[in-house]
Amino acid sequence: MSVPHQMKLRITVLDGDGIGPEVTREAVRVLRSVANLHGHDFSFENKPIGGAAIKTAGSPLPVTTVDACLESDAVLLGAVGSPEFDSLVPSERPEAGLLLLRRALGGFANLRPAISYDAIAAASPLRPTIAANANILIVRELLGGLYFGEPRGTTGENGNSVAVNTMTYSVPEIERVARVAFSAAMKRKGKVTSVDKANVLETSQLWRATVSRIARDYPEVALDHQYVDACAMHLITNPRGFDVLLTENLFGDILSDEAAVITGSLGMLGSATIGGKVGLYEPVHGSAPDIAGRNIANPFGAIASAAMLLRYSGGLDREADDIEAAIKAVLEEGYRTPDIADAGSGYLATTAEIGERVAEAVAEIADVHRAYHAV
Ligand code: NAD
Ligand code: IPM
Ligand code: MN
């Protein structure tokens, strides 16, 4: 019999704005349940980010927050952003805090799985015959492109203003994220679709040439290329045609919200940012100010992010699998937030009720493992 190993993980929790605190609370609840079940030692330290940090500390990313993140084993984030800061320039907004944090932590590959669950197939506007069994891993480059390119800014005033952003990519930046995508494909269905705009952009031509060259190191993986405009269409008309979708920062931002529609809701998607000093785990959705504070936000994406935290920062594959199995089980039991409620099946549950039920389901699944190993 193998000796269970106890894992110590120091997790910095940045719940942020809007629904961030509501969904993150449930992800932490599930992590605590996993720690209790397996005897792991997970500690949680909350720090401010985004609009909440602007209000309390005068900055969207206080130094004490970055330092705590860099000293921890993993960072779990909710969401940032609020309409009250919409008039600020980009560098002062809550979102700037998140971008600075991403750069400080150094993770360049953002993994965004989009999975169609049978139990909530009716929540997607796509016909079940199209969305059924879709399982796409979007690998989004996270530290380059228009988000970070220089020069950037606005000059001149009023009618004479000119604004500039710069899209830059270097060969090493493309190579490292491409390797993450090919490695992931080897453990999946063995296919990478690289998405670019190589018919117009030099950055995309370099992207395509570099990805094609790296592909030679992965002969088991099939590579194809799509232009981003056509990809936006193929994602919706033939989502099962994708396995790993590799793309640059802005295209990945847009296509991952689109891929969420395949699953039924933006609230379903979790993410992991890897390759840096400390892993960053956050749902794909934003702060959803339109539904904040009402205990109706979908916490499954935040909980899925917690599972990825255990897998990528803790090496706890079994525990991560159990959380993912619990998500599926709770959906099959019929628990629904309004965004995934549909006419035929299920019943409405609050954000907290879903978190509580997933935490219980994780325990039930772990009991089944124990019983199995005892015989
Ligand atoms: P959003 O993702 O917050 O919301 C888009 C729509 O999806 C809304 O109707 C919202 O109610 C719904 N939605 C999102 N998450 C949901 C959930 N978990 N459960 C149920 N419904 C959910 O995008 P937005 O409205 O364009 O942006 C709001 C703010 O969030 C902006 O300030 C934006 O910059 C910020 N934002 C932050 C992040 C992040 O922190 N990672 C990501 C995206 C947007
Ligand atoms: C996301 C968000 C962020 C991004 C914003 C809030 C900076 O939309 O994580 O998808 O554009 O990367
Ligand atoms: Mn986004």
The pLDDT tens digits for 203-221 are 999 999 999 999 999 999 9
Say which residues have a Cβ less than 8 Å from residue 70's Cβ, sequence separation at least 6: 104, 105, 277, 278
Give residue 344's pLDDT: 66
Ligand 2 close to Cβ of residue 322 (< 6 A): no
Query: Shortest CA distance to 80 belongs to which of 231, 273, 288?
Result: 288
Extended strands (E) in 116-217: 135-141, 153-155, 162-164, 191-196
Of 143, 144, 74, 140, the C-alpha closest to 113 is 140
Report the distance separating Cα 313 and Cα 28, nearest Å. Answer: 15
Question: What is 10-48 written as a DSSP string?
Answer: EEEEEEESTTHHHHHHHHHHHHHHHHHHHT-EEEEEE--
**Residue that has been written with the tokens 């705590």 in this structure:** 68
Phi, psi of 16, rounded to the nearest 5 degrees = 70, -135
**Encoding tokens for residue 240?**
């099962």
Q: Is 257 a catalytic residue?
A: yes
Burial label for 205, CB within 10 Å (0-12, 13-18, 19+), is middle
Concerning whether 281 is annotated as a catalytic residue, the answer is no
24 close to 298: Cβ distance less than 8 angstroms:
no
Question: Which residue owns the Cα nearest ligand 2 atom 7?
Answer: 95
How far apart are the C-alpha atoms of 330 and 26, rounded to whole Å?
A: 14
CA of 288 to the centre of ligand 1 (A): 4
What pLDDT score does 107 carry? Answer: 98
- Per-residue model confidence (pLDDT) at position 371: 79
How far, in Å, from the CA of 81 to the mean position of ligand 3?
11
What does R_g of the chain's alpha carbons equal in angstroms? 21
- CA 175 to centroid of ligand 1, rounded, Å: 31
Residue nearest to atom 6 of ligand 2 (CA): 95
Catalytic residue among 15, 17, 47, 147: 147
CA of 161 to the centre of ligand 1 (A): 30
**Tens of each residue's pLDDT in the chain, 375 residues:** 455 679 999 999 999 999 999 999 999 999 999 999 999 999 999 999 999 999 999 999 999 999 999 999 999 999 999 999 999 999 999 999 999 999 999 999 999 999 999 999 999 999 999 999 999 999 999 999 999 999 999 999 989 999 999 999 999 999 999 999 999 999 999 999 999 999 999 999 999 999 999 999 999 999 999 999 999 999 999 999 999 999 999 999 999 999 999 999 999 999 999 999 999 999 999 999 999 999 999 999 999 999 999 999 999 999 999 999 999 999 999 999 999 998 667 899 999 999 999 999 999 998 887 777 776
Read off the pLDDT of residues 306-350 as tens digits, 9 standing for 90 and up: 999 999 999 999 999 999 999 999 999 999 999 999 866 789 999
CA-nearest of 124, 137, 112 to 263 is: 124
**Cα separation, 240 vs 261, whole angstroms:** 13
Q: Hey, whose CA ends up nearest to atom 8 of ligand 2? A: 253
Specify whether 187 is catalytic: no
Q: Catalytic residue among 41, 229, 317, 367, which?
A: 229
| Ligand lying nearest the CA atom of residue 297 | 1
| φ, ψ dihedrals at 114, nearest 5° | -120, 110
Peptide bond into 151 cis (omega under 30): yes
Distance 100 CA to ligand 2 centre (A): 12
CA of 261 to the centre of ligand 3 (A): 13
3-state helix, strand, coil in the chain (%, to 5): 50, 20, 30
Nearest to 17 by CA among 46, 52, 45: 52
Which of these, 101, 122, 59, lies nearest to 273 by C-alpha position?
101
The one catalytic residue among 73, 257, 321, 342: 257
- Please provide the size of the chain in residues: 375
Query: Does ligand 2 have an atom closer than 6 angstroms to the CB of 17?
Result: no
User: How many angstroms separate the Cα of 37 from the Cα of each of 24, 40, 95, 143, 363?
Assistant: 20, 8, 36, 36, 7
Q: What predicted TM-score, i.e. pTM, was given to this entire model?
A: 0.97
324 lines ligand 2 (CB under 6 A): no
Concerning whether 147 is annotated as a catalytic residue, the answer is yes
**Residue in 117, 196, 197, 218 annotated catalytic:** 197
Name the catalytic one among 196, 243, 253, 322.
253
* Beta strands at 162-164 and 41-46: parallel, antiparallel or unpaired: unpaired
The DSSP bridge partners found for residue 115 are 135
Cβ–Cβ < 8 Å for 352, 302:
no
The pLDDT of residue 1 is 43
Give me the sheet containing 8-16, strands edge to edge. 41-46, 8-16, 74-79, 279-281, 272-274, 109-115, 135-141, 244-247, 191-196, 222-227
